Amino acid sequence: MSAMKQLTILMYHYVRPIKKSIYPGIKGLEFESFKRQLDYLSNIHTFITAEQLIAYSLGNQELPLKPCYLTFDDGFKDHIDYVMPELLSRNIQGSFFPPADAIVKREMLDVHAVHFILASTSDYHALVVELNGAYREYGGTTSNLESLQNTWYIASRYDSAEIMYVKHMLQHALPLHIRSQIVAKLFKKYVGRTQSDFAEELYISTLDTKTLIENGMYVGSHGCRHLWLNKESKSSQILEIDLSLQFLKKVGAPTKDWIMCYPYGAYNNNTLNILKSKNCSIGLTTKSGFADLDQSNMLELRRFDTNDFPQ
Ligand SMILES: [Zn+2]
């Protein structure tokens, strides 16, 4: 048994003082829990940097025993307000994966709008009724709705069937133009803020992204519009990846031997071929488990969710 062949990668999204915030219902990691988790991980593991992982993938360097690698998705302000200072105080590097459009255009991604809609109510049944009503209003039929409910009204590891139904419907099950309208309508009703104001507060800016890099953090690609790449044509995937690389270049992040973090963990063979042609070294999925450090398969590394470890 070789302990060196497995890497523990952790995946984080929201990390903030949640209970004290105005959205105590947001599904994320309490900042205090994050600190405890870092204590726990520090006792067991050796944290590695993105550069060490890339050097390993190129065959240039071995990794320490019990390596652990920390990743932060989606470019939240949390990452510069809470995560970076905490990591700096512990001399740990984090890897950050902001979706380019959210950062540059200050656009709210639907996936996050849905999180704050859900965090703004506890009556999920009423939310489902509201969602179904909006779906009919924007042209959905009752028979389609029944089949959608049969497919997506299913509880997950972390969420009830009602919550999962809202997430599935508004993140991918409905056609983009319908779900964007429904998200906008529900966001207005439940959150009561404009999405542009909200995006300004939710996401790091271009300047913040540069600050992460100046402080020794790693910034990699999380796409441009945060799309399900496996549902896009090859040319659309190329565009999406190229735009994210332009963003990385602009903020001073590496674009040769770089790291891709698939939005929603979604990719296909086209994605892998595109990444190989663009000198991508590492691909991060959302499949749960230890990352198998087989150098031939570094574009499909598994990650643990923060909830899989003591907090
Ligand atoms: Zn993401």
Give the tens place of pLDDT for each residue, 165-224. Answer: 999 999 889 998 899 999 999 999 999 999 999 999 999 999 999 999 999 999 999 999
How many Å lie between the centroid of ligand 1 and the Cα of residue 263? 5
Range 118-134 average pLDDT: 96
pLDDT at 3: 45
Average confidence (pLDDT) over 94-98 = 98
121 CA → ligand 1 middle, Å? 23
| Residue 76, pLDDT above cutoff 70 | yes
Model-level pTM?
Answer: 0.93
Residue 168 pLDDT: 94
Question: CB of 173 within 8 A of CB of 148?
Answer: yes
Averaged over 245-274, what is the pLDDT?
97
2 pLDDT band, cuts 50/70/90, is very low
pLDDT band for position 94 (cuts 50, 70, 90): very high
Mean confidence (pLDDT) of the chain: 95
Residues 6 or more apart in contact with residue 1 via CB below 8 angstroms: none
User: CA 228, CA 266: separation in Å to the nearest integer?
Assistant: 5
**Could you list which residues have their CB under 5 Å from ion ligand 1?**
73-74, 263
Contact criterion met (CB below 8 Å) for 169 and 135: yes
Distance in Å, CA 95 to ligand 1 centroid = 13
Q: What is the pLDDT of residue 295?
A: 78
Instruction: Find the 46 Cα to ligand 1 centroid distance in Å.
Output: 26
Per-residue pLDDT at 1 exceeds 90: no
pLDDT (mean) for 82-92: 98
How confident is residue 296, by pLDDT bands cut at 50, 70 and 90?
A: confident
Average pLDDT over every residue of 108-131: 95
Q: 219 CA to middle of ligand 1, Å?
A: 14
The predicted model gives 2-9 an average pLDDT of: 75
Q: How far is the CA of 143 from the centre of ligand 1 (A)?
A: 32
- Mean pLDDT along residues 267-291: 97
Ligand 1 center from residue 13 Cα (angstroms):
8
pLDDT at 294 exceeding the cut of 90: no
Share of the chain above pLDDT 70, in %: 99
Calculate mean pLDDT across residues 239-260. Answer: 97
